[in-house]
Structure 1
Amino acid sequence: MSRRTPPDSPFLFDAIEGPDFSFELAGKRDGLWPVAGTDEAGRGPLAGPVVAAAVILDPDNIPEGLNDSKQLSITRREALFDIILSSSIVSIASSSAATIDKTDIRKASLDAMRRAVFGLSSPPALVLADGRDIPPGLACQGKAVVKGDARSLSIAAASIIAKVTRDRMMARAGLVFPAYGFAVHAGYATKRHRDAIGSHGPCPLHRMSFRPLRQDKTET
């Protein structure tokens, strides 16, 4: 069962100027080192996997310009992706559309985050997880950080790795299922995507538990 922690200093969210290393350094002061950040990409799309990444940054070689992946241009995300891989300890995991349908998107996302953490070559003593939930089954302490990709450099790095990886996966999926335009919208519910589903029906990458694919039309 996952653990949920209350928001920490929610009144400060509107004043966030960008992620920093304060959460990581606080862990180090408490004797919890190394610290990993974990985040996911792809909770909302109608198709494709949810992808999670876990990252342990080198405190002496933190890439410049890390931020929430959604705040970065495609070009900047791609450049930071390569820099993070070359300077940090990184692990990536995903949960398929079939897994999402068998459980739910929240559980599938948390499980991908857990597996990404376990895939790190250096086990962390503390995991900073984006959102309100700590992935279940960690072998170390965890801390949920609301809007963590805009507050923690490690989580921001994980968000970039997860986002770029998933976008590349969906571009490849577009070569296999060209009718849906996955390379353009990455599986999100754009008009083009919804029209393609209406014309061709779903493919094996579609999440059949999501509206409008779910037959009973209930919410996911």
Structure 2
Amino acid sequence: MLISPSPHHALDKLNLDESGLVRALQAGDEQVFASVMDWYSGSLLRLAMSYVPSRAVAEEVVQETWMGVFEGIQRFESRSSFKTWLFRILTNRAKTRGIRESRYEPSGLSTSSPDADERPSLEDSLFIAEGSGMGHWKDPPHDWEPDTPERVLLSKECRAAIETAIENLPATQRQVMTLRDIEGVSSEEVCNILEISETNQRVLLHRARIRVRRELQPYVQGKNT
């Protein structure tokens, strides 16, 4: 479920493969650095906002992240992808700021975690529980009639509802959903960025998708009436 364009075709637009990108950054190519900042800052901001209490603080975290990239690029050894390394810098700084701002609490999937304590509901029967389609509707609603004012209005309202629903997710669910469904990051990369297991990532994503889709039920019902 992508609700905004993903910036992760940066290497293609620069006509560089990843090793070429890293070499350019290590050589101090200001144009490449500015381009990478432009492509990734929005993605970093969305993720940072799941750790800290305000957009202003999130913007500061993003600036701190780019300072970390500038200071650390010479030590980058390609043990992970550049993107994973970049997002790891962001999450480390965001966690620190979040704790300082009393927003972020380190947690995993434990029996005391809000993310782990959810129980299946009757609504879960509406969604696919396993496989690549996990968390999606089993029977997708029909499209609105095309090119009508009602469709345009409902589309805007639905988008706003999606964004609000994501903002209201528990922090770990929001982080996973932001990376997977908004930024298009692979499952393996999400696990590396957030330092969680594949099982935890899969469960968190499933629960996040279900929560968001519950919020969209009024729009689904409106489409089918």
TM-score of the pair, normalised by structure 2: 0.26
- Greater relative contact order (Cα < 8 A, sep 6+): 1
TM-score of the pair, normalised by structure 1: 0.27
Please tell me whether Structure 1 or Structure 2 has the larger radius of gyration of its CA atoms: 2
Structure (1 or 2) with the greater strand fraction: 1
